[in-house]
Every structure is written in C-alpha cells, then in structure tokens.
C-alpha cells in the first residue's frame, strides 16, 4: 500500500505503465466533470468510478480485497478513515465475487485518516475498509477509485 498526497506522487517511480497512466489521469482530469458512475480510461485495463457517499461506522463494513485490479483511491472532498491490514489468515466473510472482483474479510485493522488531495494505491494483498467516519459524525465524501488491471 502507498498512501500520500497527490502533490507528492512525483516522488514515486511507478514501473507499471497502467499505474502511471492512472496517476496522470487523476492529476490531469477535471474530476467534477466526471459522471457519478464508471467511466473507461483504457477499456478493461483501467477504468474509474466516481462516488459520492456518507461515511459510516467501522462496524458497518468489512475489509475487502481484489484479485484482478489494483485500487487507486483519491479523495476529491471530505475526510474519511480507511482501514488497512495485510492479507494473512483473516477469516473470509464473503467468498470471492469474480464478476465484481472482491472478497470480504473479518478481522482487525489499523485506520489512517484520508482527506482531500490524498491518494492510496491498494494492491491485491492489501485488505482495506474505506469510507469510515473520521471523528464522531458522518460526512459527505467525494472519491474516485481508478481500477488498474494487475
């Protein structure tokens, strides 16, 4: 997992051309003009999903993992916590859904505050629980998730 401000993305040398293309897309796109749904960037190799939602309590969700895609999550507005744990021997809560490329897990995780202008790159071995309330009150968050085929 990598988590940082988008303004610092230049310090990373991404050898994966799809990740480079995804980061360039985030930096050069007017996010406000994107529709609140899925949009292709490079067919099934790279696509983006824009979401607007309210943050929730950590007990309302599970850790998730993906097998086919790397997530690059970018916070456009708002603040949330994102839970993280390396994939080890956590108990599966929901078996792998191949069509939607996710599996859900139970277990403990550490939380990182994720705010406007920050991005996270989450690889298949990175369990994550996004969209969690930062303090005590739910807030509106706008986020894009760029899905990069492994």
Block means of pLDDT (10 residues each) for the chain, length 150 residues?
A: 94 92 95 89 96 96 97 98 96 97 97 97 98 94 97
Q: In the prediction, which pLDDT does 107 show?
A: 94
**CA distances (Å), origin 109, targets 3, 23, 44, 84, 91:** 16, 26, 30, 5, 13
- In the chain, what are the domains? 2-149 (2.60.120.370)
Q: In the prediction, which pLDDT does 14 show?
A: 87
From 150, 149, 142, select the one nearest 73 (Cα to Cα).
Answer: 142
């Amino acid at each position: 997992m990598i988590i940082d401000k988008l303004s610092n993305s230049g310090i990373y040398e991404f050898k994966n051309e799809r990740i480079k293309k995804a980061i360039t897309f985030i930096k050069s796109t007017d996010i406000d003009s994107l529709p609140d749904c899925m949009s292709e960037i490079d067919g099934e190799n790279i696509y983006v999903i824009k979401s607007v939602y309210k943050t929730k309590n950590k007990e309302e969700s599970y850790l998730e993992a993906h097998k086919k895609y790397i997530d690059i999550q970018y916070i456009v507005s708002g603040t949330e916590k994102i839970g993280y744990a390396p994939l080890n021997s956590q108990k599966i809560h929901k078996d792998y859904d191949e069509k939607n490329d996710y599996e859900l897990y139970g277990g403990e995780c550490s939380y990182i505050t994720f705010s406007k202008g920050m991005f996270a790159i989450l690889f298949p071995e990175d369990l994550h629980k996004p969209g969690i309330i930062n303090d005590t009150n739910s807030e509106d968050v706008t986020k894009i998730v760029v899905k990069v085929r492994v």
